[in-house]
Amino acid sequence: MTRGPLAAAETAIKKDRLHADPAIWIARASDDAILSQARRLRDEGPRGRPLWGMTVAIKDNIDVAGMPTTAACPDYAYTPAVSAPAVQRLIDAGALVIGKTNLDQFATGLVGVRSPYGVPRNVFDADRVPGGSSSGSAVAVAAGIVDIALGTDTAGSGRIPAAFGNIVGLKPTIGAVPATGMVPACRSIDTISVFARTVDIALSVQRVIAGYDARDPYSRHPPNAYLRRSALPARPRIAVADIDQLCEPEVSRLYRRAAADFDHETVDLAPFLAIARLLYDGPWVAERTASLREVVENRPEIMHPVTRAIVEGGWTRKTVDAFDAFHALARARRLASDLFARYDALLVPTAPFCPTLAELATDPIGPNSRLGTFTNFVNLCDLAAIAVPAGFGADGLPVGVTVLGPAWSEGRLAAIADRIHRSTTPDLPAAEPADGPAADETALFCIGAHMSGLPLNTQIVSLGGRFLRTARTTAAYRLHALGNRPGMALGDGGIAVAGEVWALPTAAIGTLLGMVPPPLGFGTVALEDGPCLGFLAEAHALIGTQDISAYGGWRAWLVERDRPPEGRR
């Protein structure tokens, strides 16, 4: 951000006044309080704080010290003395809190209408739902009032309203962001989420709010530096689904357009859609009941009627059925693991349609259930997700798609999600470059099947590798074909060999080396821009093998190898 805190605060106040939608907020700081915060930040200066002067809204099931937390239930309200860790980390990073935002009560819903504080207005069509449960946070960003916002996500609450507001919704890996100070919905699969205008801003916010918290029993230590941004690989492998029978035509059209930018294959989504139905049909309804047990047992009358009906349904769930659901979920997680061993990402529509307020008035449950078609299974299967705009339909409504990956894949998904967003939104600020290797990472030059889109790339990715750039060696090497892999060594009449540079956790280099059969190994390779660890072969082992140096790289040789005999050169 180039503007200072005071200009940001004044913009937020002005845009909030012009937008004139009081249903966005449950509690908003006064203009004087906002400006006072901004002046203090201005006088302090940036001090290296990454979010200095950025305005932020906080979903009102997340604690902000001194402001009531209601979870959209006035009689539930309490005023915390300390902020949730995620909020405090934003403040410590220089962000300016504007207020607490509206939501589907107790974060139960995907529509954004189940609140006694009103319904935030969909910024593109006032007759449509804003999406929920993080309705106010998403609308505050979509309307340009704040730069960023925190939501929560259990079944899609951080993604559905992003789609309806034409903004980015980042759903972190479960346990990556501490949920301490958050009113739980389904505690085992809840996460605080991020709304922003670009993928890079959303990722920068997650870098601030993420981190282990011993007070949160579901908090997890990441296996690697998963929030370092990757570049877009040369050949990302994308899985897609046949969704035409599930979505409105314009959603299907724009989904197909987003997928067309990548090499993609259709996979069967049915096992995941079956798991999705368990979120409101299985034991996780009882988990919502457990989260609100005191209210449900002693004060059910304080709840919104629809919320009460859903949460009270948890009493009827049977333990024996829960174990059937847990076993089904284990199978689905195994399927997800197998899928991401073959593909870099799964692309799905964010929502199959955008219902009208009138539809919800007639049927408060059905449209909400349909909205979760492509979101409900994600947290259950322990996936990371980034929802991005995919363009506008003929009806003028925005359509979103979501890029999914395994836990701890946010930095890799960012490149794919950002590419989709930029294909439909040309006036975005310049993309952030890939983060270079950090102190605990080693750059590795790959020349064969470990490159993106090729069979052994999953070995790199599974160890926490991320793509940095394409590169070439100096003109000093010879390249040979060793069956299904290349061998490269220094040689007379050398050529420049094309390949890719990946960053791996240094601790994983030995593990990868153990997967590489002789005569291949690692050594220092001279690239055009300097030395780098890379794949090399023992020179004596190349004697008598096919020299493919003339092709300049393994990809070019694969094209020639797979060409019909009559077309080969």
Which residues, listed in sequence order, are joined to residue 170 by a DSSP beta bridge? 194, 386
Would you tell me how many other CB atoms lie within 10 Å of the CB of residue 362? 11
Residues of the chain predicted below pLDDT 50: 1
Kindly give the interhelix angle for 270-278 and 319-340, rounded to the nearest 10 degrees: 150
Domain identity same for 50 and 76 = yes
Q: Exposed/middle/buried for 562, CB within 10 Å: 0-12, 13-18, 19+? A: exposed
Q: Which residues fall within 8 angstroms of residue 198, CB to CB, at 6 or more apart? A: 168, 418, 421, 428, 429
Q: Is the dihedral of CA 245, 246, 247, 248 positive or negative?
A: positive
| Contact indicator for 302, 295 with CB cutoff of 8 Å | yes
Q: Look up the domain containing 518 and give its range.
A: 441-567
**Domain annotation covers residue 6:** no
**Domain annotation covers residue 431:** no
C-alpha 135/C-alpha 565 separation (Å) is 59
Query: What one-letter code names the amino acid at 88?
Result: Q
For the CA atoms of 91, 93, 96, 102, what is the dihedral angle to 10 degrees? -60
Judge whether 318 counts as a catalytic residue: no
User: What's the full length of the chain, in residues?
Assistant: 569
| Contact indicator for 357, 114 with CB cutoff of 8 Å | no
SS3 (DSSP) at 62: strand
C-alpha 75/C-alpha 116 separation (Å) is 11
| Contact indicator for 555, 448 with CB cutoff of 8 Å | no
Q: Which residues fall within 8 angstroms of residue 159, CB to CB, at 6 or more apart? A: 153, 169, 171, 193, 350, 375, 385, 387, 400, 402
**Domain annotation covers residue 433:** no
Tabulate helix, strand, coil % of the chain (nearest 5): 35, 20, 40
Domain identity same for 81 and 114 = yes
**Encoding tokens for residue 434?**
């890939």
**Domain annotation covers residue 445:** yes
**Structure confidence at residue 554 (pLDDT):** 97
Set 83, 133, 219, 452: catalytic member: 133
**Structure confidence at residue 1 (pLDDT):** 45
CATH code for the domain in which residue 480 is found: 3.10.490.10
| Contact indicator for 397, 124 with CB cutoff of 8 Å | yes
Strand ranges of the sheet holding 441-446, from the earlier edge strand across to the other edge: 466-472, 498-505, 441-446, 530-537, 520-527
Domain identity same for 346 and 413 = yes
**Structure confidence at residue 3 (pLDDT):** 81
Set 134, 135, 137, 157: catalytic member: 157
Domain identity same for 420 and 447 = no
**195, HSE (Cβ side, Cα atoms, 13 Å):** 40
**Encoding tokens for residue 179?**
């949920």
Domain identity same for 84 and 170 = yes
**Domain annotation covers residue 336:** yes
**Encoding tokens for residue 374?**
């492509």
Would you tell me how many other CB atoms lie within 10 Å of the CB of residue 322? 16
Would you tell me how many other CB atoms lie within 10 Å of the CB of residue 561? 13
**Domain annotation covers residue 394:** yes
**Domain annotation covers residue 257:** yes
**Structure confidence at residue 568 (pLDDT):** 55
**Domain annotation covers residue 114:** yes
Domain identity same for 222 and 267 = yes
Domain identity same for 352 and 303 = yes
Domains identified in the chain, total number: 2
Read out DSSP for 327-359?
A: HHHHHHHHHHHHHHTT-SEEEEES-S---BHHH
Domain identity same for 357 and 481 = no
Q: Looking at 390, 424, 458, which one is the last position of a domain? A: 424
Judge whether 14 counts as a catalytic residue: no
Domain identity same for 417 and 445 = no
CATH code for the domain in which residue 163 is found: 3.90.1300.10
In the chain, the largest separation of any two C-alpha atoms, in whole Å, equals 84
Domain identity same for 486 and 400 = no
Domain identity same for 84 and 213 = yes
Domain identity same for 382 and 246 = yes
